[in-house]
Structure 1
Amino acid sequence: MNYIIFGGTGFIGTHLINLLKKEAVKPGDIIYDLDIVMPGEEGVMPGVVEKIEGVKYIRCDVRKPIDLDIATSTDDIIFNFAAVHRTPGHPDYQYFETNLYGAENVTAFAVERGITKILFTSSIAPYGAAEGLKEETTLPTPNTAYGISKLVAEKIHEKWQAGDPKHELTIVRPGVVYGKGEHGNFTRLYWGQRKHYFFYPGRKDTVKACIYVKELARFMKYRMIDNDFPGVDVFNCTFEPAYNIEQICTEMQKATDMKRFIPLIPGWILMTAAVCLVPFGGMKWGLHPARVKKLMISTNICGKKLAESNYKFHYTLEESMRDWYEDCNKEGLL
């Protein structure tokens, strides 16, 4: 059996590969990491994403038709992580170019090779930015190029699944994903508290649905390897109920043996500062108007469907924070 991972050199893909190596790969199985960048290259975080023994790395650009000189079988499994995702950060066309062409080319590759199982990592961005609770059945109203591109990519994968009743498609919509190698929201939150420059932006009760990267990888293994689920299903991947920013900060401090007082700054002050500092490199400090706006709006994502499935979580929020902290400390990353 082959595990064919598009975008496998990224944050989530690397953790999934490590899990597969430990718990899934049998003699004769091969893991293929297909990515536009390879471990150790520019744009890949050194010391975090390194080549893993036994994994076959192949440079692959999903924006182009996929022609790989590898032997495949109908038992193989595709994990599609390939995406342009950081927002803000890219021109609008780049989200569509990679995320739409990528979905079309990956599903075309599956048809050509007769592969019947795909897991597609989408996003909560298709729901759009709004305070209301979002379930898997909530009508998507994306308001960014990234969110629109991800929603269309979901539909492309669903069209592939509808082409044959034997096709298995799992679409995951993770909340904020954190863990070793993330270098995003949670890493900035940790250092902001540690160095006394984080403050609550406008409010303390902003819901920030999240999931630990190792938990997400385990759910992927549960869906695609440990079980068979013919048809198509969509899962919000978050803790249930979702935590707010004050709860996350409290648990992070407990897990990392840190005690900090966090002040609250009115939202209008932050937005004014972000607008004024953009021409002077405000993005370096996370002060971009779009990012500040994201901080003050809840990502209130319902994880009830996942919680009520047969999948059992391995980590509480505090346990996951402690595990992340220990992983990073081993390599001097925090």
Structure 2
Amino acid sequence: MNYFITGGTGFIGTHLTSLLHKVHPKAKVYNLDIVKPGTPLPAVKDYKPALREGKEHAATFIYCDVRQPIELEKVNITPDDVIFNFAAVHRTPGHPDSEYFETNIRGAENVCAFAERHGIKKIVFTSSIAPYGAAEELKEETTLPMPNTPYGISKLVAEKIHQNWQASAEDRQLTILRPGVVFGKGENGNFTRLYWSIRGHRFMYPGRKDTIKACIYVKELVRFMLYRLEHHDSGVELYNCCYEPAYTIEQIVEAMKRVTGMNVNVPYMPGWLIMSAAGALGALGSPMGICPARVRKLQISTNICGKKLAASGYHFCYTFEEALADWYKDNNNQCLE
């Protein structure tokens, strides 16, 4: 049996590969990506690979560009194999609009065509909460998607492509996951930036402290993926992936401070003032990654409901604070990165 992970070099793919290696040590895991593990991304400033120096990726790397038809030579592909489709252009802002559509939509088409050709019946697709659109209202899995960014639109279309693949045969199993902010070692994302901003006395609450930021620990997310593979026979299932209830930015900041021992006062800055400062920094090239678009993201809640996941029978291994502590431990109790 094979596990194919498109985008397996990335943050979530690296953690999933490690888990698969532990849970199914005899299975063959293939990392289908255009980036070799441990390789920096030249398009992303200050990017740190999810796999750090001295560590080995527990999957066999195969160069694969999902924007092109997928052909794997010298791999014995069977209908019992599983595909995890993680390959995506996802950092937003950060890419021309066309790149989101080219990779996320064309990639979904090619992954599903690959599964169709080889009779593969199981796909786990990591989508996003971006298809819901940016709004304060609570989003459940039944909420009408209203994406308002190229990334969100491309992810919603990709979901529909996967659903069409599943609908072609009753015995096909499709799990679509919409994670909140995924945090953990190697994320290079929002939580890492938040931690270093707090530690460096550069973070201020941007106009509000009650912004909801739905999130999930990466180790929890990949465990849930394997749980659903074992407890889902056929059809399509959709899950928001986040702690329930979701946490506010103030709760996240205070938990980070407690876990890492930071004695830092985090001030509050009125929204109009921080947007003016972000605009000025944006004109200087966005030092420290601060720009108006990122500040606006901080001010808008990602108010995602995780009740369906909580009722799925899956038992979380970590509370939110325990997850932060485990992440901190993974960095030798030195930092969060």
TM-score by length of 1: 0.95
Deviation at 1:23, TM superposition (A): 1.3
Q: Does 1:37 align with 2:40?
A: no
Which residue is equivalent to 1:312? 315
Deviation at 1:221, TM superposition (A): 1.0
Q: Name the aligned partner's letter for residue 15 of structure 1.
A: H
Matched-pair contact (CA < 8 Å) for 1:3–1:76 = yes
Residues 3-54 of structure 1: CA deviation (Å, up to 9, x unaligned): 011100000000000011111233xx20000001111323173473566365
Q: Does 1:281 align with 2:279?
A: no
Query: For residues 35 and 136 of structure 2, what CA distance do their matches in structure 1 show?
Result: 36
Residues 252-301 of structure 1: CA deviation (Å, up to 9, x unaligned): 1111122221111011111112222222112x323211111110010000
Which residue is equivalent to 1:115? 120
Q: 1:46 to 1:298 in 2, by over 3 A?
A: closer
Report the secondary structure of 2:247's partner residue.
coil
Which residue is equivalent to 2:237? 233
Q: Report the more deviating stretch, 192-201 or 308-317.
A: 192-201
Q: How many residues end up aligned between the 2 structures?
A: 330
Query: For residues 177 and 46 of structure 1, what CA distance do their matches in structure 2 show?
Result: 16
Which residue is equivalent to 2:11? 11
Which residue is equivalent to 1:199? 204
Matched-pair contact (CA < 8 Å) for 1:14–1:49 = no
Report the secondary structure of 1:38's partner residue.
coil
Q: Does 1:295 align with 2:313?
A: no
Which residue is equivalent to 2:255? 251
Query: For residues 85 and 326 of structure 2, what CA distance do their matches in structure 1 show?
Result: 26
Report the secondary structure of 2:20's partner residue.
helix
Matched-pair contact (CA < 8 Å) for 1:103–1:156 = yes
User: 1:1-334 alignment to 2 at 5 Å?
Assistant: 1-26=1-26, 29-43=27-41, 45-46=48-49, 48-49=51-52, 52=56, 55-69=59-73, 70-224=75-229, 226-282=230-286, 284-329=287-332
Q: 1:300 to 1:46 in 2, by over 3 A?
A: closer
Report the secondary structure of 1:241's partner residue.
coil
Report the secondary structure of 1:66's partner residue.
coil
Which residue is equivalent to 2:44? none
Report the secondary structure of 1:57's partner residue.
strand
Q: Name the aligned partner's letter for residue 61 of structure 2.
A: Y
Matched-pair contact (CA < 8 Å) for 1:277–1:287 = yes
Residues 213-240 of structure 1: CA deviation (Å, up to 9, x unaligned): 000010011112x333310010000000
Residues 120-160 of structure 1: CA deviation (Å, up to 9, x unaligned): 00000000110000000000110000000000000000000
Report the secondary structure of 1:5's partner residue.
strand
Query: For residues 304 and 329 of structure 2, what CA distance do their matches in structure 1 show?
Result: 28
Q: Name the aligned partner's letter for residue 189 of structure 1.
A: L
Structure 1, unmatched stretches of 5+, are: none
Query: Please, what is the CA RMSD of the aligned residues?
Result: 1.6
Query: For residues 234 and 188 of structure 1, what CA distance do their matches in structure 2 show?
Result: 29
Report the secondary structure of 2:240's partner residue.
strand
Query: For residues 243 and 333 of structure 1, what CA distance do their matches in structure 2 show?
Result: 18
Structure 2, unmatched stretches of 5+, are: 42-46
Report the secondary structure of 1:119's partner residue.
strand
Q: Give the share of equivalent positions with the same residue, in percent.
A: 63
Q: 1:53 to 1:102 in 2, by over 3 A?
A: closer
TM-score by length of 2: 0.94
Query: For residues 50 and 143 of structure 2, what CA distance do their matches in structure 1 show?
Result: 40
